[in-house]
Amino acid sequence: MDMNLEVLILAAGKGKRMRSARPKVLHALGGRSLLCHVYTAARRLEPDSVVVVYGHGGDAVKQQLPDIDAHWVLQAQQRGTGHAVQLGLTALASLEPSVVLVLYGDVPLINPDTLQPLIEQGATGALALLSVRLENPTGYGRIVRDHEGIVQRIVEEADASASERAIDEVSTGIIAVPGSVLSELIEKLDCDNAQGEYYLTDIVAHAVQRGVPVAATLAENQDEVLGVNSRAQLAHMERIYQRRVAQALMDGGATLADPARLDVRGELRTGVDVFIDVGCVFEGTVTLGDRTQVGPYCVIRDSEMAADAQILAHTVIDGATLGERVSVGPFARLRPGSRLAPSSKVGNFVEMKNAELGERSKVNHLSYVGDAQLGRDVNIGAGTITCNYDGAYKHRTQIGDGVFVGSNTALVAPVTLGDGATVGAGSTINKDVPAGDLAVARAQQKAVRDWQRPSKKKT
């Protein structure tokens, strides 16, 4: 018989040890929330439905995670994991026939391949649980087995005896069990324990009493079942995650100067023979084409680089598109909407925003180019500024092919420089320059009394 797979993600805890006003599951790991990592793992299992039980932070959790396609169930009072599951069961698409997989919003590195055997065991009618052996099991519920090694129950640390606390096999809390069985076992829970809560782990003892088979599978990699309960644990988990990312990049053909000094906070796609120097941060979705070279201490966010791009040290790139053989930096900043055509160059201490740079064009140093379109073979001298903002509105600068702009020039938008035009150094240009002409504008200083700066019209 085919069985539905229903996933419950418990994400209602406050996380007191985080010392934060933010719900624990919203803290970031690798640029994404803890809950997003768990949800992604769940979706890879292709479940029929996903239910997220949330609590601390209320609707803020839902609002900050709009991409999670799940049924949301509020646990207004945190009365334990058993109570959370009981609430979550009411939102599942089907309890019969189904296998319910229970995951946790603060266990972000869980691998879907580890979960698959539990699901298969649950489909046979067993209560399948995931356990792990820890050198220091403090804080975890211990797996209690009989003399034949058969699981009898799980005892939480607060309720464990001295001999039970010596057990190094602990429960991860992750279980897979037929929906109808889980529903019946949940109804048998009580809160007669040290914490006064309904423990999900207590269903193991009830399952044994009822004759439901209990199958415990040991996780081979303890890193993937570690929970985040403090900022120190979050930092530790971040390094584990980044090591995984670094290994995957190197397996794909990228060279990392030092895998330990890389931070990917989103998705980084690399072609072959890419080189990334130390201290670089990648955020959002970033693509580096074949043979792209990224110098040290660069920050690149939501951008795409074609083959053979050269990104020099301390460059910040955000929302930009770079063509083949482009060179940027050092100490350059490309803001959203920057588009660089093949073989163009942006040099040191140059800022671009919402601007297009044509093929083989150069803005070599100490310039600002915003809201502008530059043609092919343009040369922008040092200290050039496109004055795109009049205090109320933005205006564009149009620069044709083959234009040469001398150093220390202000181009007061809206203005157009025709193909082949030349602008003398130190000029302030506020009128169009026809194609092929030389424009020089170095007027004496004057003051205009009682001048009114433009302001936006009220609507």
Indicate which residues carry an active-site annotation.
365
201 contacts 172 by C-beta, under 8 angstroms: no
Among 351, 355, 307, 308, which residue's Cα sits nearest to residue 329? 351
Cα separation of 124 and 8, whole Å? 19
Q: Give SS3 for 294.
A: strand
Cα separation of 231 and 222, whole Å? 19
Annotate 394-446 with DSSP letters as a single string.
Answer: B--EEE-TT-EE-SS-EEESSEEE-TT-EE-TT-EE-S-B-TT-EE---PPP-
Tell me the sheet residues that pair with 370: 353
Query: What Rg value do the Cα atoms of the chain yield, rounded?
Result: 30
**Element housing 260 (H / E):** none
Hey, what long-range contacts does 286-294 have (CB within 8 A, 24 or more apart)? Answer: 288/254, 289/324
Q: What letter represents residue 323's amino acid?
A: G
Q: How far is CA 80 from CA 189, 191, 262, in A?
A: 11, 9, 38
Cα separation of 170 and 129, whole Å? 11
Tokens matching residue 15? 């996380």
| Residue 258 main-chain phi, psi, to 5 deg | -150, 105
Q: How far is CA 420 from CA 180, 361, 402, 405, in A?
A: 78, 13, 5, 10
Annotate 49-104 with DSSP letters as a single string.
Answer: EEEEEE-TTTHHHHHH-TT--SEEEE-SS---HHHHHHHHHTT-S-STTEEEEEEE
* β pairing state of 49-54 and 422-423: unpaired
> Which residue bears the tokens 């001999």?
163
Say how many residues make up the chain.
459
Name 314's Cβ contacts closer than 8 Å, sequence gap at least 6: 295, 296, 297, 298, 329, 330, 331
